[in-house]
Amino acid sequence: MKEFQCGTLVPGCEWHVTGDDEAEIVHRAVEHLRNVHGETIIRETMVDNIKKRIGPASEAA
């Protein structure tokens, strides 16, 4: 299981997503950035930054 924590990209955000598939995690993270943080343009560098921050899921997740 893998996890992305939005707070590693957007300080103060406590949202996180877990899953087995990196592509699904990236997709859900991009949706979150659009809906919650108002990002209208998601550049390749943003996707790369999300991928860099995906790691093993914490026990608490």
% residues pLDDT > 70 (the chain): 97
pLDDT of residue 59: 73
Both tokens assigned to 53: 């921050």
DSSP string of the chain, one letter each residue: -EEEEGGGTSTT---EEEES-HHHHHHHHHHHHHHHH------HHHHHHHHHT-EEPPTT-
Helices (H) and strands (E) in the chain, counts: 2, 3
For residue range 10-27, list pLDDT tens digits in order: 999 999 999 999 999 999
Whether 51 shows a pLDDT value over 80: the answer reads yes
Q: pTM for the complete prediction? A: 0.90
**Per-domain residue ranges of the chain:** 2-56
